[in-house]
Structure formats: C-alpha cells, structure tokens
A = this chain, B = another copy of it.
Amino acid sequence: VHVFAIVPANAAQIARIHQRAARRRDVIALAGGLPCDELFPRIALAAAFARTSADEEALQYGWPEGMRALRAWIAERLAARGIAVAAEHVIVTAGAQQALALVAGALDVDRIAVGDATYPAALAAFARSGITAVTTGAPVRYVIAGVGNPHGVDVCDRSALDGEVVIDEAYTELRFDGRDDRLVPHDSERTWRIGTLSKTLCPGLRIGWLVPPPRHHARVVADKQAADLQTCSVAQSAAIRLLATIDYDALIARARSHYAARADRLATALRRACPELRFRDPEGGFSIWVETDETGDDVALLEAAIAAGVSLDPGCTFRCDGATSHVAFRLSYSHAAMCDLDEGPRRLARALAAWRRGPRPS
C-alpha cells in the first residue's frame, strides 16, 4: 500500500480554516460551492421520503449498480441530450465524487490531463489512485463539461478531446444559456461520463452516476461493491419517486435564472470593489474564478479574508501541482444571501489590502 500525497500539501490546514470560519455567523461564505437551499424542492422531497419506508427495496440491501428505475431515468435524461447509453451501462454512485474515485481506480494510466485549474476533490481522487494530474500531455483528459469549475465558463479545448476522456457533467445543465449539447456525440469506447443530482436537486441525497466504457462496466461494478456495496437505497428510492413527480426541467430552468442573477450581482460588486482583479463573467454554475498578477501565499490571503469577514477558496487547491505561481481564488455566489454578494467584495478589498501589506507583527 502506497501513501500518496494529499494535493495540495496544505489541504488539511485549509479544511481546518474553513471549518472554523463556517461556525462564524459574521463571515460571509463565498467559499464552498454549495447549491442554494431555497431551490431544494422540499415539499416534493418530503412526500418522496415519507413513502420510502413502505418500499421494501428502500430499506434492504440492493445490487451494486443501483436501482433499475433510477438507471433508466439517467439513461433517458442522457438520451434526451443526444447521448445514447443503455441503462445497463449506468452505475448509480454516491454523488459524482464516488464516480471520480471509481474512474481513478479503474484507469490504467499514471497521468491525467486536467487543465490549468480544476475541482480539488477530483485531484484528491486521482492522487489516491496514484495518478499524477498534469496540465496537459497525458493519455486521458478530465474535463468539466459546459461550465468549468472553478472557472465558471466553458474552458474545454475540444481539439484536445481525441483520446480517452472523463467528462464530468456536474454543472452541464446549469449553463445560463441552457446549452447542454457542447460535448456530444458520445463515443462510448473512450468516454467515462459522470453526472449528479447534487447541483440541481440536492446534495444531501448523494446520488450521482458513472457511465464507463462498456468494456470496463463489470470491473467498475465490482469496485463499487468493494467500496460501499451500493448507493443508499433510501436515497435512490426517494429520488425515483421524486423524479417521477416533479418537473425536473422546470426546476433546472428556475435554478439557471436564480444563479444567473446572483452571478451578475457578485460580478458587478466585485468589479466595483476590486477593479484590479481579473475574471470572466460566469456562463453558468456557482462561481467566479479570480486571477491576479500577484505572487504570494494564498492561504495567508484566505486567513486575511476571514479576518475581514469573508471566505474564499484559495487557488492552490485547484492546481494540480498545488502551485501559486500567481495568486488566484474562487468566489461562489451560489449559497450566500443576495445582499452579502454586495458586501462580500468590499470585505475582500480590505482583505487584499491587508494581505498585500504582509503579516503584521504579532
């Protein structure tokens, strides 16, 4: 058993800082990338949960690949977007994160290309399977389709997608323009496709999916079984009921306009409070990726931000080498109160000024 590096080396330190900040009501949370609680379909969820205890399947052990009705819904949803996969090839996972961990365990490569910045927990999953994430030049590529995380815009270079590819569709349906067709057609022989209900429905269910190339299906199902036997039956059963009763497209349309308004609000406030920062207006998803030409310790920037009453996700956590060649950070508009999206950037401006002055003698 090899102990692989945790990426970045200071991940545990950053996690501790975030946990402390999360307990403080006076810190505006622009860290984390949580979906907005107001969008969860609570009444429909209550009805779905209430009925799970009458469902024999919901309380008992199930098969590792997940419930048939849920796999069928996933396959149909993909088919509606022009992606032809059979329900037999879909594996229900404990969120998209477990799908990433399963892909990492099944890929027979030692490097994966991830671009300049990407989802930190994907880097963690790759590292644990001994796969080195690199910015470019690897036999497999990991892409977050439609809306990059942390970028908030589509950063996928389609010309680089001619090899094996892991397509993470966590935010694909949350493009503000509704264009979710940007990476089809689906080449089943070389595509690992990952999706989730966490961003559109609610993360607490922990329902995601993985569609591996069919030749890898049996092996991945066995890996899934070794990992946790099966995805939570109660959650699967509730999701099946819920998806049969709600208008999922309407839910997504509402989420798009909700997040688009927040993205606009944060971008406007940020441009006003911190005119020196570089960022692109989000095309979807939950966050803005801010880049600077400055160098320095971005964990110190996180600490300065929290001292000023606002949290952020430091750029090093998104880099495959944990590097801070230039300081960057992610700001999430998805979960904060609307008024906090105005105040957050003002606090950030003070934090940046303090951070630029460097540590005060203590």
Minimum CB–CB distance for A30 against chain B, Å: 15
Interface residues of A in 213-242 (CB under 8 A from B): 218-219, 222-223, 225-235, 237-238
* A206: contacting residue among B35, B129, B232, CB under 8 A: B232
Is A210 an interface residue when CB atoms closer than 8 A count as contact? no
Q: Are A54 and B46 interface neighbours, CB within 8 A? A: yes
A204 and B42 in contact, given A108-B3, A232-B94 (Cβ under 8 angstroms): no
Q: Are B229 and A97 interface neighbours, CB within 8 A? A: yes
* A226: contacting residue among B3, B50, B128, B198, CB under 8 A: B128
Minimum CB–CB distance for A355 against chain B, Å: 27
* A58, A61, A63, A95 — most chain B CB neighbours (10 Å): A61
Minimum CB–CB distance for A166 against chain B, Å: 13
Chain B contacts for A127, CB-based, 8 A: 226
* A202: contacting residue among B11, B45, B60, B229, CB under 8 A: B60
Interface membership of chain A positions 45-68, coded 1 if the CB is closer than 8 angstroms to chain B and 0 otherwise: 110011011101111111100000
Minimum CB–CB distance for A31 against chain B, Å: 12
Q: Are A1 and B131 interface neighbours, CB within 8 A? A: yes
Chain B contacts for A121, CB-based, 8 A: 225-226, 229
**Alpha-carbon separation in the docked complex, A67 to B130 (Å):** 30
Q: Are B228 and A98 interface neighbours, CB within 8 A? A: yes
Is A40 an interface residue when CB atoms closer than 8 A count as contact? yes
Number of copies: 2
Minimum CB–CB distance for A209 against chain B, Å: 13
Q: Are B108 and A226 interface neighbours, CB within 8 A? A: no
Q: Are B206 and A130 interface neighbours, CB within 8 A? A: no
Interface membership of chain A positions 1-20, coded 1 if the CB is closer than 8 angstroms to chain B and 0 otherwise: 11100100001100100010
Minimum CB–CB distance for A20 against chain B, Å: 12
* A60: contacting residue among B15, B204, B231, B235, CB under 8 A: B204
Is A124 an interface residue when CB atoms closer than 8 A count as contact? yes
Is A32 an interface residue when CB atoms closer than 8 A count as contact? yes
Chain A interface helix/strand/loop/mixed? helix
Is A86 an interface residue when CB atoms closer than 8 A count as contact? no
CB nearest to A203 among chain B residues:
B61
CB nearest to A208 among chain B residues:
B228
Chain B contacts for A97, CB-based, 8 A: 225-229
Is A205 an interface residue when CB atoms closer than 8 A count as contact? yes
Is A180 an interface residue when CB atoms closer than 8 A count as contact? no
Interface membership of chain A positions 103-115, coded 1 if the CB is closer than 8 angstroms to chain B and 0 otherwise: 0110111100000
Q: Are B202 and A59 interface neighbours, CB within 8 A? A: yes
Chain B contacts for A225, CB-based, 8 A: 97, 121, 124
Chain B contacts for A98, CB-based, 8 A: 227-228
Is A37 an interface residue when CB atoms closer than 8 A count as contact? yes
Known: A1-B130, A57-B204, A60-B204. 6 other contacts (CB 8 A): A45-B53, A46-B53, A59-B202, A59-B205, A61-B198, A204-B237
Q: Which 5 residue pairs are nearest across A and B when measured between Cβ atoms?
A: A204-B233, A46-B53, A124-B226, A59-B204, A49-B49
